[in-house]
Structure formats: structure tokens, C-alpha cells
Structure 1
């Protein structure tokens, strides 16, 4: 990004300032995020119970929608499972809804392998897809007992969250949670399975620079997709024509000019979305089992999209 090339003289550049142009609408959207009716509406009562199965086996008492609503409230309001059960029970009582709330053990058990119902906004035209990844902590207590009693420190672990962002709507159109050993290029094929829209432009950082990424994108979205990935400093020409043009443009006009001409600076939007995730949802995962962590990440992505649909801030630069 631009500040990396001007780090030695960053103090000589005035900091850009922006102002929100739709303050009333944006403030109301922020208020509505805390409205329980947004997350728990009366029309879900009919779908709360699980439909009768026609095959052999046990009958589920709660539908996947009921479990998803409970887990969504847990993610949005950052509640443990037992407090989630009590919270949903109180909401149902205040709304006068006659439903049986799943207990905390059922929420934990059904969270593994839960099918999340997608409700993304349909794209009327090909989108610009921006992809990036970040790390999420797996909470396993604090280090107080280790410092006090000199116990052996536990080996820390974390998960890697890969997200794909639609630049126009700000929605997370794809998300995938993996272990820390899975690279960005390796997770890309499965990440694209969640996208049900055509993609005309693809933006990513240098971690996605490779022929495997190009082959994956062209096989999924066609050979006409525009791929904007910065090549490394020591990059040389190869078989890919688009990458060769990027290498030549950087060598002739400089990397800063290439970023402005190609629109690569728009990739900052996915970094802002990652910051929003960690600010609103948190920088860690509550679930301990990897299968439940996957469901938690899916629920969190859907909740953030719901918040985005309520309203977004519109900015204009003043300095």
C-alpha cells in the first residue's frame, strides 16, 4: 500500500480526513443493529420446529433455522451458550411467542455441521471480488495460572479466516475458516464455491501471486476475468499475459502509479472489513471444536451482511 513506500517521510504527508454525508440514516442503521426484532422476528415461529423426517432414525426437535437464530444472537451479543439459552427464552416470553428454546448442550451439538441458509443480495452485474485472510484466536483461558504457579504454558493455536468481499455492496460473498497451516492460494478453490455471481475483476495481495490462482479463477469465472495481483520486486516475464503487463507497467512507471491505474488500492476495503469483523464480532472464536468454529464463522459473516443491509456510511474527503 502507498504508506509502505513513504514510511521514512510519512510525517510530511497530511493525514486524509473524511466526513460522513448520510449521518441520520447511518445512525439509525447503527441503532437497528441492537434491535432484537432484526434477528428474531415473529414469522420464524412456523419454522421453529424441525419437519418430520420420512426416513428411519431419530426426530430432531428444532429446525436448523432455530439453531441458527440462537447462534446468531450468541455471536452478535457475544454470549456464552447458557446465557444464549436464557436470552432467547426471555425474548420469546416478552414477544408472547410459544416456542421451546434449545438448551445449551443442544446448541453446542447441533452447531457442528450446521447448514446456514444464505440470503445474499443478488448481483445484477458482474462483481469486483476482493479477497484476503486474517487470523482468529482460539480462546482457551488466560495465562494467570501459568504465571502464578509456574505451570507449563499451553501451546497456542489459531484459525485462519478467508473472506471474499463484493466491492459494490460491501457484502461478504464468500468465507472459509481453515487451520493455520492452509495457505491463501490453497484455500481459494473452496472459497469460490460460495460465490453465485459472475466476477469480472479479482483483487488480492501478493500472497495470491501464482499460476495456480490464475488457473483457478479462469476455470471458475472464464478467461475474461481481470486479475490484479502485485508481482514481487524480482518478478520476471512468464506465460501469463496479464501478469506480464503488470510487470512491465511497474518497471516503466513505478509501483505507486500501477496501483492507481489498476485500482489496486481498492483492496483496502477488504482490510477495513476484516477490522470491522474484529471490532463487531471479536478477534477470536468462542467454540472450541473446529467443526463448530466453522459454523460460528459462517453465522458471523451472515450477521455482518445483515448489518450492512441496514445501512452503510457514505464518505467524502474534506482534506
Structure 2
């Protein structure tokens, strides 16, 4: 790679937290007043959706979400009441959150592929810990994942033995991609012989490419 400066900055931006609440959302934060019998709600469905969305995105429990939302309101200097965790739990059960938009499979896939080693734990691992022994041969597997950079969706995967090379596993991954591939990024281990990427039936285009280190 020759653009290390831009690459490093893109990785740093992944940890950047920028949150704002639009004026429209603030205006709809409180629930409209009911004209029928029953108690009056304090928070609108939109307010509950915002809190539950933050909970899902940052993988937080509802108590942590309450504190997180409270800190955001303080940092932004907005005067809003934050739902407590019990309210989020109760209101969330009857609330239909918008489904995540799926990528149109007619759109080209910007595919990035990488692999990671997985250590297999089992009876032998328990025996080793109990008796303070060590084995010469440990059991490993290699997980290969292919990600669409546009949608963030995992579009292909494979689990192989540790003696299977990345370039050998690549054709199996490509066969799982349900759509045309316009860009391909991978580590140096995938820089093997040339591969032919066949696009889905009905497509008269083929993408032949040499996989270079990215």
C-alpha cells in the first residue's frame, strides 16, 4: 500500500462518535396528548425508537442505554426527559422497529475478504487446565469471511482446517456471492494464482482479476 496516511486516518474515524438530534426529532420527543381514556404517555414512539436503536448499535443493556442517552442530552444541551430502562423494556415490546434495508442484489458487491484463526476448545483443553499439562498439537480452524463494504453485510463465509490456504478457500467464498462483484480487497495471503469470478446466471460479464495485496 502507498496510501498509509489515508488508510490510518480511515481506521481512526471508525472510533469517532458524532451524535446529533434534529430539531424535528426534538419536537416529536414527547407523546401527543391522548383524547381517550387511559394514562398519558410521556415519550413518543420516536423517542423510544431512538433509544432502542442506540442500544442495538452499541450493544448496550437498557440501563446503560438510559445513561448513554442522558449523557448525549447533556452534551448537546437539550432539555429532554430520557426514558428509564423499564419504560424502554415495556414500550419496546409493542413497538415495531424499521427493518434494516437489505442491499439490492442487482447492485455490484464491493467485496473484502479476510480470515482469522479459531482455537477449538474441548475435553482435551479441560484436561490440560486441570493437570497443568501442555499438548504439542492444538486444534485450530480458520474462519474466512467476505463482507460487502457498501451494506456491511456478510455475503460469504467458510470454515476450514488450519492447513487450508487462503487462496485455496477463495473459490468457495466467491461461489456464495449472489451478485456481481465490482471491487475486491484482500490480504496478502489471498495473492495467489489468478481466479475467474463468474457472475450470476443471466449476466454476460465476467471479472478476471489478479488479487493484489491491499
> TM-score, with normalisation over the residues of structure 1?
0.35
More strand by share: 2
Query: Which structure has the larger Rg?
Result: 2
TM-score by length of structure 2 reads 0.50
For CA contacts below 8 A with separation 6 or more, give which structure has more relative contact order: 1
